[in-house]
Amino acid sequence: MTDQPRAEPTPARPSHTERPRTDPPVTDSSYTELPPTGPSHSDLPPKDLPLTALTRVRRGAHHQVTDRAALYDVIDGALSGTLAIIRDDRPVALPVGIGRDGDDVLLHGSTGSDFFRRIAAGAPVCLTVTHLLGLKYARSLFDSSMRYRCAVVHGVASVVPPEQKEAALLALSEHLMPGRSRDVRPMTAREIAATMVLRLSLAEASVKDNAGSLVEVDDDGEDRAVWAGMLPLRVVADAPVTSPQTDPSTHVPDSVRRAAQRVAASGTA
């Protein structure tokens, strides 16, 4: 009886919190211009995000983060993003609910939506996800700005096939409303058929994180008697509001309470 080789353990994904807030500048010497890539569904995506003509940050390049784990952190900490296409030679951008599934983002909309039909037909898209962390009050309006973490994803979305649609919708709902699917009735075949689910690869994406940027610098010549500083911002979940048509004996489910606790803990949504 021969010994079988042991599989090597999968390395743990690095935590975004273990990485310095700002990466070294992406300089011309370290940058190779690549053509935009198409969707990729590799089970083991590269740790570093590729730099392409669409993903290279040009303004404030020293705030670009190329660690894929940072991209996942931005996506996972958000409930929505802004999805944009070009429709009839004009840009159109709409807010959409999002949820990550591996190295893809799941999106959904009505099968009757012209916006989603165009995406399903192959229209290139741009998805933006932003966490606004605070307002930077400098000693001049010119130098005042914001602190944020932002991800931008480019690609062509694919339509989730009918046999995978219910599982994809459950995965998306679990991100948006964890545990809610166990509180309500199952989706009907008609509801599933009326919903389009799209899968957008994270193969071509960029992250910009200026959370550690300075409010001011020494010897800038500004009047130190003028107040300068940060106004931190965070998302807060208020107490659940029960629908007036709900049976008075019905209690707020634990899934709703857990969702509120998640927002309170992260300060993002």
Residue 1 has pLDDT above 50, yes or no: no
Residue 73 lies in a domain: yes
Q: Which tokens belong to 179? A: 């545990």
Contact 254, 171 (CB under 8 A): no
Q: Report pTM.
A: 0.81
Q: Report d(CA 184, CA 195) in Å as an integer.
A: 18
CATH of the domain at 178: 2.30.110.10
CB atoms within 10 A of CB 129: 23
Residue 90 lies in a domain: yes
| 104-110 vs 125-137, strand pairing mode | unpaired
Tens of pLDDT, residues 194-213? 999 999 999 999 999 999 88
Contact 233, 135 (CB under 8 A): yes
Q: Count of domains in the chain?
A: 1
Residue 124 lies in a domain: yes
Going by C-alpha positions, the residue among 202, 211, 74, 70 that lies closest to residue 130 is 74
Tens of pLDDT, residues 216-258? 777 788 888 999 999 999 999 999 999 999 999 999 999 999 9
Domain that residue 171 falls in: 16-214+225-233
User: What mean pLDDT do residues 74-82 have?
Assistant: 98
Residue 257 lies in a domain: no
Residue 260 lies in a domain: no
What is the pLDDT of the chain when averaged over all its residues? Answer: 87
Unique residue bearing structure tokens 């591996």: 102
Tens of pLDDT, residues 101-157? 999 999 999 999 999 999 999 999 999 999 999 999 999 999 999 999 999 999 999
Residue 250 lies in a domain: no
Residue 219 lies in a domain: no
Residue 229 lies in a domain: yes
Unique residue bearing structure tokens 């404030």: 60
